[in-house]
Amino acid sequence: MAGDTTYRYPGEHFVLFLTITVVMLVIALTATATLCASVLFVTLALLISFYTSRSAHRHLVENAQRVTPNSGPEIYPLIQTCKQRIRPGEVDVFVTPSRQLNAYTFGLSEPKAVVLYSSLFNVMDQDELSFILGHELGHIQLGHTWLNSLIGGMAGIPSPSSASALLMLAFLWWNRMCEYSADRAGLLACRKPEKAISALIKLVAGQRSLTREGMELAYRKIDAEDDTWMGSLSEALGSHPMIIRRIQHIREYAASNQYRQLFR
């Protein structure tokens, strides 16, 4: 099954290596940040991230609802199934009130946390929720939660403006590779490519996706994302790939031998 992380998107490690290489080159070629100062800067960034994460976790415990067999009897079995398929380690799942359609994960120590926005339950069916959950659990199992803090700290090392822009672009590129990997985890959790795709469309369409016409209109807009240079520029400056590219990658992975082997 998915516990061995072989589903990781092939380009992720390459872009991670490239990002670290760029950081080392910036340190070597500029006098703004020495090696010692850079190590101290990254260590400080990690410490801040760690304590921020702990504070956020305490806030969630106090203000959001942790999903347990008693508090969420409808969703708890689904969470357990996704955990068994992805094997992310110790994770708490919370539901927080929000009109937005979103989910995220954080944590540098166990238990990690996955946060689901309550509006998801108004538009997603069980299979689509499995994809959302699997996606977030994939981030945890693949180490993105702590690597994001580490690489983000490295990308923030003081440097000339041109070098800082290069570091940030490399960091965002790696983020986008991580999203492809997490989408594969989501697919392995829900095991239905069409549901993985509809979940991504619904994240964009919202309540309009509850009708067939709304879903079709949303997909046409998504399909047009990569038709202009503005769309490509927006993607290059963002932490997530275009939805249409994510859909294409899901379809390709669902047709691969690796997916069929892990699915068994």
What was the pLDDT predicted at 254?
A: 96
Residue 107, sorted as left (phi over 0), alpha (psi -120 to 50) or beta, turns out to be: left
Q: pTM of the entire structure?
A: 0.86
What was the pLDDT predicted at 2?
A: 46
Confidence of residue 117 (pLDDT cuts 50, 70, 90): very high
pLDDT tens digits, residue range 48-71?
Answer: 656 665 666 667 667 788 999 999
What was the pLDDT predicted at 34?
A: 55
Residue 31, pLDDT > 60, answer: no
Mean pLDDT of the chain: 84
Nearest to 38 by CA among 154, 152, 148: 154
Strand, coil or helix: what is 38? helix
Q: Which residue has the higher pLDDT, 35 or 199?
A: 199
pLDDT tens digits, residue range 237-255?
Answer: 888 999 999 999 999 999 9
Strand, coil or helix: what is 3? helix
What was the pLDDT predicted at 44?
A: 64
Enumerate residues 6+ apart whose C-beta is below 8 A from 183.
Answer: 135, 138, 196, 200, 246, 249, 250, 253
Q: Which of 105-109, 112-116, 132-136 has the lowest mean pLDDT?
A: 105-109
Residue 128, pLDDT > 70, answer: yes
Strand, coil or helix: what is 189? helix
Nearest to 262 by CA among 186, 194, 188: 188
Residue 36, pLDDT > 70, answer: no
Strand, coil or helix: what is 105? strand
